[in-house]
Amino acid sequence: MSPLRSITLATLTKDIRLEWRSRDAINSMLFFSLLVVVIFSFSFDPNAEESREIAGGLIWVAFLFAAVVALNQTWARELRNQVLEAYRASPAPANALFLAKALGNFILVSLLEAVMAPLFMIFYNLRALGPAWQLIPIAILGTWALVVNGTFFAAMSLRTRSREIMLPLLLFPISIPAVQSMVEATRIVLAGDGSARFWIVLLLTYDVVFTTACLALFETILQAE
Amino acid sequence: MSAPEIPAAASIITVSNLIKQFGRFVALRGVTAQFAAGKLYVILGDNGAGKTTFLRALAGLAQPTRGEVSILGKNPREACRDVGYMAHPSLLYDELSGLENLRYFARLYDIAGDGRCEQVIRLVRLDPELTRPVGQYSQGMRQRMSLARAILHDPGILFLDEPFSNVDVRSAREMVELLTAMRDAGKTIFVVTHQASLLESVADEFVWMQAGQIVDRTPGLSPSPSRAGTE
């Protein structure tokens, strides 16, 4: 196994073990998104057709905000006891750390989506009128778009004094094209309003471009003081 | 895995006009020095003298603003397999046990299996069977586990920042014995400490730092006569 793959796997396993023992991120994310679902459902009282129009936006905004919680936690545990220094001092490739963190966040946010999506469906009385299978690539590509940039910008804001505020400030503007694609694609599928193919391809392109950029720049971020 | 063969007393670390600035604050002011292989150096100085920054620059964790550091003829990043670094914080995950921590760090150095991890844990006189998370260790145990992490990949050069802080006298003496044995086995060791008396009988050289510069290098704990006169 190549060092990149074996170290990515070792770091991912370690992170999952740490999360399993502390449950820092998953508990906060679940609680936060549950609150969003409940508050939104009390704030709006849409009929079924209106629900299909707005649900895409509500669900992705809830996941975006919840993801920020996980993203901050991922790097916070590397700062305790300055463990990140041990990684920096080692010959391990920087990208292995980045990929492991991004994959870990992807797993966490996907778990959250798996739990929360059915609740959204129930609270908003939703049923897809378009091809429901398209929601799967939308969810996978959309989640990766959120976590890949989120992981990168969380690392970038790691050494800033107010990193909890810094992360959304950096992440949200750059995520606008991805969020718009996710929301539009989800709306099209739920409302049965044609094909979401264009938005899925746009999401895929966004993912490829930003994953490449993050991998190219991460070593500079890791070695920065 | 074994440490690279280093001829005794050959200069393995060369520092040329090393300057490190943090904004307007100059932490290192043109440090120039050479260090020989197989010796135990103790770096001394008041708080803010630049000891930790100097050690971090040698370990490749602080990029010089100007000047150069050469370790075994390579830059510190390239020499990272030959270098072990122990910082003031433990650099360990509190939620994992000692063995789990070392297992992870072993992967970063491409060390397979638990054999080496268990060996270094025993070397620092801890029990590899201990399942307690490191967060529940005493400060002394944490320091020893931190040392185990630093020597896990059997580096030829060790940089240790305050290894004896908050450690009881017995544990500190055991650590000194271990460091002496490692030096005798040919490793080059740098220790930043405020408890220099612990190393007085075993250190080869005391490096005195003041205001970001090396101001003296002495074989014993007393400053050289020329500097003693100025103090």
Q: Do B61 and A89 touch (CB under 8 A)?
A: yes
Task: Identify which of A79, A219, A70, A220 has the alpha carbon closest to the alpha carbon of residue A151.
Answer: A70
Token pair for A160: 């800033």
Are A109 and A67 in contact, with CB atoms under 8 Å apart? yes
The SS3 assignment for A10 reads helix
Cβ contact B108–A7 (<8 Å): yes
Q: What is the pLDDT of residues B141-156, one digit of tens each?
A: 999 999 999 999 999 9
Interchain CB distance below 8 Å, A91 and B89: no
Q: Which residues of B lie inside 8 Å of A (Cβ-Cβ)? A: 59-63, 80-81, 83, 85, 87, 89-96, 100, 104-105, 107-110, 133, 149
Strands B66-71 and B83-86: what pairing? unpaired
Q: Which residues of chain B have a CB within 8 Å of the CB of A3? A: 110
With beta carbons under 8 A apart, name residues in chain B contacting A91: 80-81, 108-109
Quote the minimal CA–CA distance from A149 to chain B in Å. 25
Domain ranges of chain B: 39-56+82-222
Q: What is the rounded distance in angstroms from the CA atom of residue B181 to the CA atom of residue B185?
A: 6
Among candidate residues B56, B62, B53, B61, the one with its CA nearest the CA of residue B28: B53
B3 band by pLDDT with thresholds 50, 70 and 90: very low
Q: Do B95 and A10 touch (CB under 8 A)?
A: no
Minimal-distance CA residue of chain B relative to A22 = B95
CB contact A93 to B (< 8 Å)? no
A19 chain-B contacts, CB cut-off 8 A: none
Contact A190, A128 (CB under 8 A): yes
pLDDT band at residue B119, thresholds of 50, 70 and 90? very high
Using CA coordinates, name the residue in chain A closest to B90: A81
CB atoms within 10 A of CB A211: 18
Option in A82, A92, A223 nearest B108 (CB): A92
- Average pLDDT of span B198-205: 93
pLDDT of residue B35: 96
Amino acid B6: pLDDT: 43
B179: nearest Cα among B158, B161, B195: B158
| Complex ipTM | 0.89
**Between B121 and A194, residue with greater pLDDT:** B121
Cα–Cα distances in Å, from B108 out to A90, B81, B172?
Answer: 7, 10, 28
A160 contact B CB<8A:
no
pLDDT at site A69: 84
From chain A residues 15-44, the ones with a CB under 8 A of any chain B CB are: 17-18, 21-22
Q: Helix or strand or coil: residue B77?
A: coil
Burial of A104 per CB tally in 10 Å (0-12, 13-18, 19+): buried
Q: Report the C-alpha dihedral over residues B59, B63, B67, B72, rounded to 10 degrees.
A: 30
pLDDT of residue B9: 58
Among candidates B62, B83, B94 on the partner chain, residue whose Cβ is nearest the Cβ of A80:
B94
Q: Could you state, in order of their start, the residue ranges of all structural domains in chain A?
A: 3-223
A81 touches chain B (CB under 8 A): yes
What's the rounded Cα separation, in Å, for the pair B39 and B121? 24
* A122 contact partners, CB below 8 Å, separation of at least 6: none
Report the pLDDT averaged over residues B157-172: 91
Cβ contact (<8 Å) for B95 and A18? yes
Query: CB-based contact (8 Å) between A225 and chain B?
Result: yes
Q: Beta strands B157-161 and B25-36: pairing type?
A: unpaired
pLDDT of residue A54: 83
Return all residues near B192 (Cβ < 8 A) that are at least 6 apart.
Answer: B43, B51, B52, B55, B160, B161, B162
Which segments within chain B are labelled E, that is strand? 11-22, 25-36, 40-44, 66-71, 83-86, 157-161, 188-192, 205-210, 213-218
Q: What residues of chain A lie within 8 A of the CB of B91, using their CB?
A: 81-83, 85-86
Per-residue model confidence as pLDDT tens digits over B34-93: 999 999 999 999 999 999 999 999 999 999 999 999 999 999 999 999 999 999 999 999
Pick from B91, B100, B107: CB nearest A85: B91
Distance CA B134, CA B145 (A): 8
Share of chain B above pLDDT 90, in %: 79
Residue of B nearest to A24 (CA): B95
Distance of CA B21 to the CA centre of its chain: 22
Which of A10, A18, A83 has its CB closest to that of B91? A83
Scanning every residue of chain A, which has its alpha carbon at the shortest distance from the alpha carbon of B103?
A10
Helix or strand or coil: residue A24?
A: helix
- The stretches in chain A having pLDDT less than 70 are none
Residue pairs spanning A and B at CB distance below 8 A: 69
Dihedral angle, C-alpha A161, A163, A168, A173, nearest 10 °: 60
- CATH of the domain spanning B39-56+82-222: 3.40.50.300
B3: left (phi over 0), alpha (psi -120 to 50) or beta: beta
A12 vs A10: CA distance, rounded Å: 6
Question: Is B109–A90 a contact, with Cβ atoms under 8 angstroms apart?
Answer: yes
- Residue reference for tokens 């120039």: B32
| Selected residue with higher pLDDT from B83 and B4 | B83
- As a whole number of Å, the end-to-end CA separation of chain A is 31
What's the whole-model pTM score?
0.90
For the CA atoms of B211, B217, B218, B219, the dihedral, rounded to the nearest 10 degrees, stands at: 130
Within 8 A of B155 by CB-CB distance, chain A residues are none
List the alpha helices (DSSP H) in B33-188: 51-58, 98-108, 115-123, 139-151, 169-184
Residue matched to tokens 């992870």: B104
Tokens of B30: 């043109």
